[in-house]
Structure 1
């Protein structure tokens, strides 16, 4: 059972579809923002070739996730009009804003470690949500694809991260601080999503 309150509600089918719709809308802003940040990190002059490969791999993954997000949004009832007029929530967008800050200011090798420290937790959330969407919300395989993508372990990503860390210099104190803030902003993302009173999903 997850300790994330909102993910726990989704896991049991207690979260309304409107909450899922807001999740889709917020992710429509997070995914392209993170992709641009990763591409910037890949292209910085001080980024090692190994770290560049890692960040390019992440950016490609964000593109693939963005394609899968469309089916999830449609299953939640999000149409193009709502998507383009939606005003994102500051608490939900704090995470990509901090990723952008790291892309501009942090040592790229430190960013590799900080980002990967949060991947397992995010992947576990996605696995829980994917299962719940099938069991409680009757979503199609395509509509669950966004969460399936992040839930699946990626040995290739792990290998690229290890190569990047091996090739660069790491400041462990800074990495701990970056990782802690990323976890804080991740929690803020979930806490900022509205959770109306329970209704029929």
Structure 2
């Protein structure tokens, strides 16, 4: 990426570069089997159990970076992301109870690479890298959540209350995209390298794919 670039152009280029990985996320076998009704409650407990480690970790990561960055728009973006994870966690507790998850679940290493990388970004990276990574990842994760919501309410006997976790992540994203782009543009103006933002997005998308490929069945 040579020469000056703005957030919209940068994220467009990164999305183009990651189309193959995004398609692999869409085509993952676990989600396809869920939609076909071929997974049982054990698999659903696995998903909920993994997310009960992912969501609190991501929330702490956003909070930690927000404490270091009181400037706007970074601080508002990060505190908003942390608040969103809090909403998701409350909804996740309802899902976990509905599928019979106990408090003895042990996480899978491949699924936990994603939040581990987010924690590393929060420690070593910039708000622009975080915003770029999550913005590029938004379509893949939101689309997967929309598909899970449809599959679980249609074929697994769960209602909207039990599936609120998925509705939360597959809802309207216009305002999140607006502030994410503002954070990226601010970071670029501060000297954050476009290559660093692209790298963060590439790695986060790869770890998202690893999450789906590693889910217990």
Alpha-carbon offset, residue 34 of structure 1 = 0.1
1:171 match: 193
Alpha-carbon offset, residue 48 of structure 1 = 3.5
Picking from 198, 202, 209, the partner of 1:187 is: 209
Alpha-carbon offset, residue 33 of structure 1 = 0.3
- Taking the TM superposition and a 5 Å limit, the aligned residue runs for 1:76-91 are 76-78=99-101, 82-83=102-103, 85-91=104-110
- Taking the TM superposition and a 5 Å limit, the aligned residue runs for 1:1-201 are 2-45=26-69, 48-78=71-101, 82-83=102-103, 85-169=104-188, 170-195=192-217
Deviation string for 1:16-67 (max 9, x for gaps)? 211110100111111110000011111214x642011111111000000000
**Structure 1 residue runs of 4+, over 6 Å off?**
none
Contact 2:121 2:129 in 1 (8 A): no
Deviation string for 1:129-167 (max 9, x for gaps)? 000001110101111110011011222212211221232
Contact 1:110 1:171 in 2 (8 A): no
Unaligned runs of 5+ in 1: 196-201
Q: Distance in 2 between matches of 1:167 and 1:56?
A: 17
Contact 2:37 2:155 in 1 (8 A): yes
Unaligned runs of 5+ in 2: 1-22
Q: Distance in 1 between matches of 2:184 and 2:122?
A: 16
Q: Distance in 2 between matches of 1:148 and 1:136?
A: 17
Give me the TM-score of the superposition, normalised by structure 2. Answer: 0.83
Give me the TM-score of the superposition, normalised by structure 1. Answer: 0.89
Aligned-pair Cα RMSD in Å? 1.5
Equivalent position SS for 2:112: helix
Contact 1:42 1:55 in 2 (8 A): yes
Q: Distance in 2 between matches of 1:59 and 1:107?
A: 16
